[in-house]
């Protein structure tokens, strides 16, 4: 079972487009066998083959369309009934309800305060969800994912080196709720933009923003006031962090790589 996904994973040359940590080792196999959780047999077969999985990485955001947990996560509803979270599909929680035959347990999704039955079984759900995920890519984009990313050009490598020479730190929050960021450029080039990470303290939000560094020339330091997800979360619930050097498959997430130095 799931040979179609195994073949797809083997065919794709883009690193981290699909990430799986299986097959399960003996300890995980024993844990699944003894868990007693009322989850579909097809889910257990998936986990034994792939472990936990993250599938269909968005080249623009670095997030994954589909996730399957290596073990079900118990949830207790207000009425005391139990559900078992099996994964995530395009931001929606995917789960089964307590009770029923293990050979066929309906799959439900919860999103924006609404519950929908989306499949009669896990195997049906994962196949149709993967099919839908592939449809978001054009034929050309999919062919490029299968082929793998082009290596960095000399120009892109210069931009990456220029990124390494720019340092920054958050100095506080101003009266308008903007983050105060001190930026220093110790290099020999000016970048128009610098991509940095943003996450909430509870880790439910994980994103990025671009610092406007066009006025921070070589040897210069500047203080920026940065609007950061304002209106979504209080500024003191957000933290900015440095991103690692991009890899070729990450180029769409770092807008500065489009610059010409």
pLDDT band at 99 (very low <50, low <70, confident <90, very high): low
What was the pLDDT predicted at 187?
96
Separation CA 247–CA 258 (nearest Å):
14
CA-closest candidate to residue 126, choices 42, 16, 34: 42
Pairing of strands 64-76, 82-89: antiparallel
| pLDDT of residue 138 exceeding 90 | yes
Locate 172 and state its tokens: 């506080």
- Report the pLDDT averaged over residues 157-175: 97
Q: Where are the domains of the chain?
A: 3-147, 154-258
Separation CA 45–CA 210 (nearest Å):
42
Largest CA distance in the chain: 68
| pLDDT of residue 100 exceeding 70 | no
- Report the pLDDT averaged over residues 73-101: 87
Q: What is the pLDDT of residues 27-79, one digit of tens each?
A: 777 776 666 678 888 999 999 999 999 999 999 989 999 999 988 999 988 88
- Report the pLDDT averaged over residues 215-244: 96
With vertex at residue 63, the alpha carbon angle to CA 228 and CA 181, rounded to the nearest 5 degrees, is 25
pLDDT band at 184 (very low <50, low <70, confident <90, very high): very high
Q: Please check whether residue 168 is in contact with residue 184, taking contact to mean a CB–CB distance below 8 angstroms.
A: yes
Q: Please check whether residue 211 is in contact with residue 224, taking contact to mean a CB–CB distance below 8 angstroms.
A: yes
What was the pLDDT predicted at 102?
57
Q: Please check whether residue 138 is in contact with residue 125, taking contact to mean a CB–CB distance below 8 angstroms.
A: no
Q: What is the pLDDT of residues 194-224, one digit of tens each?
A: 999 999 999 989 999 999 999 999 999 999 9
Q: Which CATH number fits domain 3-147: 3.90.660, 2.40.128, 1.10.3470, 3.40.1580?
A: 3.40.1580
- Residue of 82 and 6 predicted with greater confidence: 6
Residue at token pair 């073990």: 71
CATH of domain 154-258: 2.60.40
């Amino acid at each position: 079972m799931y040979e179609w996904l195994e073949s797809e994973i083997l065919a794709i040359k883009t690193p981290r487009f699909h990430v799986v940590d299986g097959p399960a080792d003996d300890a995980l196999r024993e844990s699944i066998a003894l868990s007693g959780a009322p989850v579909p047999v097809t889910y257990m077969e998936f986990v034994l083959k792939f472990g936990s999985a993250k599938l269909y990485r968005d080249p623009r955001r670095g997030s994954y369309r589909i996730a399957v947990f290596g073990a079900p996560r118990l949830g207790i509803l207000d009425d005391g009934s139990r559900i078992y979270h099996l994964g995530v599909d395009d931001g929606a929680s995917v789960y089964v309800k307590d009770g029923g035959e293990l050979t066929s347990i309906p799959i439900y999704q919860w999103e924006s305060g609404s519950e929908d039955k989306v499949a009669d079984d896990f195997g049906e759900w994962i196949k149709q969800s993967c099919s839908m995920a592939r449809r978001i890519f054009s034929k050309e984009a999919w062919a490029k994912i299968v082929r793998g990313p082009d290596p960095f050009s000399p120009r892109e490598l210069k931009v990456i080196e220029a990124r390494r020479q720019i340092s920054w730190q958050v100095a506080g929050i101003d009266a308008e709720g903007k983050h105060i960021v001190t930026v220093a450029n110790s290099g020999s080039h000016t970048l128009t933009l610098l991509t940095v990470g943003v996450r909430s303290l509870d880790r439910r939000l994980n994103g990025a923003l671009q610092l406007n560094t066009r006025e921070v020339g070589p040897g210069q330091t500047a203080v920026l006031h940065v609007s950061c997800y304002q209106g979504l979360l209080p500024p003191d619930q957000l933290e900015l962090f440095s991103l690692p050097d991009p890899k070729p498959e990450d180029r769409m997430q770092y807008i500065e790589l489009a610059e010409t130095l």
